[in-house]
Each structure stands twice: as structure tokens, then as C-alpha cells.
Structure 1
């Protein structure tokens, strides 16, 4: 993989020898130099489910808005689940210049390539784990055992990509200067908007129940 991830995607790949799979393995960076790995089928399904729940919330308020605030409470419950589903769709791995970022449901972990000690399979569960020079372990178990593994070994693609990204960035000047692992809250406009609407619906429902 000395030629880079996108070259290796064509030369050293796993799965059926089809043009579609070959193209899927040829990951290329975007304009910001980032490569994103995600279970796109899961992303689509979760976001469609979130949209359906949001529609259910609107339906409950518009067509069943009876005195007592029950409809608003149903709306709040549906919007809360929609926000959670949207957040679950944010799970992904992003390879940025000099960094590996694992996005979770609520927070994302930023690991500088200078802090990467090794990538290995955790002995108990067998999931992919990134170990840093400071002894911190970052779990990538959610990227194992997916439908994509049966198509073109997605979990191994993620592991190979992170190893190649670490090696290529490690050769750059100053790559070992940043070694601090940081965890930050993941902001998402759709998820935060759904959460705000759920809170407003809950307040309206409680106010309606109190009035009756």
C-alpha cells in the first residue's frame, strides 16, 4: 500500500472481482483531503426511519390534536426517537490529514496519527481496536460484521485504510508532534432540531395536561 489508499484499493482488494466492487474499494479523498467510511445502507435506512417518525409526529398533532395534550406527548416521543435514529446514522470513520476520527452517536474521538501505536483485533470480542501510544484504546466494533463484509470485507477495508493512512501521514514532516487524543460532542443540525422540537412538544403536552 505504498502507493496510497486509493491506489491500493485497486491493486490489493478483497471480495468479488466485479467492476462495482472494484470501484467501491477505490476510495479517494474529497476536496478537503478526507476519506469517509460508513455503512451507507444503514445511514439511508436510519434517516428514512427518522423522517417517517417526524412525519408521524406531525400527523399526531395535526389530525389528532384533542384536548389534554396527548397528541403533543406522542409527538415528543416520536421526535425524540427520530433524533436518536438520526444520531445513529452519524456513525462513521473519517480519515483527515494527520488524524483518524471515529464518530459515534454522541461524541467523536480524534486520534492524531502520531498517537497511533497499533491496530489489532481485541482478543475477547474480536473487534477492531486502535491502541494509542498513551495506552488509550478506541473501539471500532460497530464497523465489524456488517452486510458490507459479505460483499467486500468492509471491516478489513477500514483497518487497511487506517494503517495506510497512519503510515503515509507518519512520513510527513512533524507528524509526531501531535499525540493528544480528544473527545468532542458531535453536533448535528437535523438531530439538534429534532431534539428541540421534541422538548417543545413535551412542554406543550405537559401544559395541555395541566390545563385539563
Structure 2
């Protein structure tokens, strides 16, 4: 863990000290005020699966009778789920760490963070708050990309540095309570609604 990061390093960049990483991190933090961490290989694969499932559903629907509506529900539902899975990410924004899951996201004020550790029985990265709540980051550990670029360590470094930023520069939230909310997604929700519409239309067609 990067608890030994110097103050200058914390203020200037996130992650390993490479010029490319430093440029990207600094640009996004300065211009947008936030840093987004994603497993892009997993994101691309999941979105390809979702698009293939949509193509399969369209093929089924264009093939004929009303009975096909029930068959199209499955690929559309799978496409909606896979698309939602592709939205999993960590967003570091002023005073907060936001952990996006499949259906919801958790807003963690930096003042609530006690430590980052790997003491969970699953062995993955866990954020522990002062109130004793634990937020897991298993999605961001152990991928093939780590063989070329240690992204797991980047996630730890980025979150740890974000927590340690001076309050004068980080506009930390006054509250230390975690906020859990449902995550709306235009694409995923539209696919889910399409699956429901096919199911309802199929039931009506059978009446």
C-alpha cells in the first residue's frame, strides 16, 4: 500500500511514477475534478457480449410468430445485465470515493475512510470505514492486464492518495455517512424494459 507517498507526490499525481500515467491523471483531475478507474478489458468484453445478445434478440424477433417474443426475453435480459456489469468502476471526486456496483453505487466521504487492506477472507482489496463498514473492490484485483501494467496497485495508490489529500485542496464532505443509491443507466435500463415489453407482448399475444 502506498501509505508512504510524499506530500508533493500526493498533490501532483496518482499511481506509479511514469510520465504517461502522470500526464493522464493530472489532466483528468485538473480539467474534470475527478478520476475514473475501470477495468477496460472487462468492460469491452462485457459490452461485446451485450451487443451480441441484442443482435441475437433482434434476429429472433425478425424471424416470425409471436411465440418468438418469449425467446427474445432471455438475450435481452442478459444484455441488460452484462451492460450493467460493464459500468462497474471507481470514481474519485473531490472529497469522495464512489464505488459503482451492478445495480447501485456507494458514496464514501474521504473522512470516513479508516484503512485499505486485504484482510477479507476472499483476499481482495477492502476499504474499511471508521464506523466498521467494509466496501470490497474485488473487481479491480487480479486481471490479465496486471501482467503488463499493475492496475491493482494503481487503484490502491489512487484511493490512498485521494484520502490523504489536504482538506484545503480536496473540499472534503462535512458528513462521514455512506450514501447508497440505485444507479440509473440509459442503455441497461432500456434493454431491461425491452425484455419486459417482449414478455408482456408475448403474454398478450397468447390471450
Sort the TM-score into its range (normalised by shorter chain): 0.7 to 0.9
Give the Cα separation in 2 of the matches to 1:124 and 1:205.
45
Q: Which moved more, 1:29-38 or 1:161-170?
A: 29-38
- Alignment length (residue pairs): 198
Indicate whether 1:198 and 2:195 are aligned.
Answer: yes
Give the Cα separation in 2 of the matches to 1:173 and 1:59.
51
Q: Which residue pairs with 2:43 in the alignment?
A: 43
Q: Which residue pairs with 2:106 in the alignment?
A: 109
1:204 Cα deviation after fit: 1.2
Indicate whether 1:4 and 2:16 are aligned.
Answer: no
Q: Which residue pairs with 1:18 in the alignment?
A: none
Give the Cα separation in 2 of the matches to 1:99 and 1:8.
15
Give the Cα separation in 1 of the matches to 2:14 and 2:178.
28
User: Is the 8 Å Cα contact of residues 15 and 153 (structure 2) preserved in structure 1?
Assistant: no
For residues 199 and 167 of structure 1, do their structure 2 counterparts lie closer, same or farther at Cα, with a shift above 3 Å needed? Answer: same
Q: Which residue pairs with 1:185 in the alignment?
A: 182
The CA deviation string for residues 153-208 of structure 1, in whole angstroms up to 9 with x for no partner, is: 11111011000000015454863622010111010000010011110001111222
1:150 Cα deviation after fit: 1.4
1:123 Cα deviation after fit: 4.3
Runs of 5+ consecutive residues of structure 2 not aligned to the other structure:
none
Q: Which residue pairs with 1:94 in the alignment?
A: 91
Give the Cα separation in 1 of the matches to 2:193 and 2:11.
40
For residues 145 and 5 of structure 1, do their structure 2 counterparts lie closer, same or farther at Cα, with a shift above 3 Å needed? Answer: farther
Secondary structure of 2:13 counterpart: helix
For residues 6 and 57 of structure 1, do their structure 2 counterparts lie closer, same or farther at Cα, with a shift above 3 Å needed? Answer: farther
Give the Cα separation in 1 of the matches to 2:173 and 2:114.
12
Q: Which residue pairs with 1:207 in the alignment?
A: 204
Secondary structure of 1:105 counterpart: coil
The CA deviation string for residues 49-96 of structure 1, in whole angstroms up to 9 with x for no partner, is: 11111111111111x222xx3211111111100000000000111101
Query: TM-score, length-normalised on structure 1?
Result: 0.85
User: Is the 8 Å Cα contact of residues 115 and 176 (structure 1) preserved in structure 2?
Assistant: no
The CA deviation string for residues 21-46 of structure 1, in whole angstroms up to 9 with x for no partner, is: x6256523253311011111111111
Query: TM-score, length-normalised on structure 2?
Result: 0.87
Give the Cα separation in 1 of the matches to 2:10 and 2:135.
24
Q: Which residue pairs with 1:124 in the alignment?
A: 121
Q: Which residue pairs with 2:75 in the alignment?
A: 78
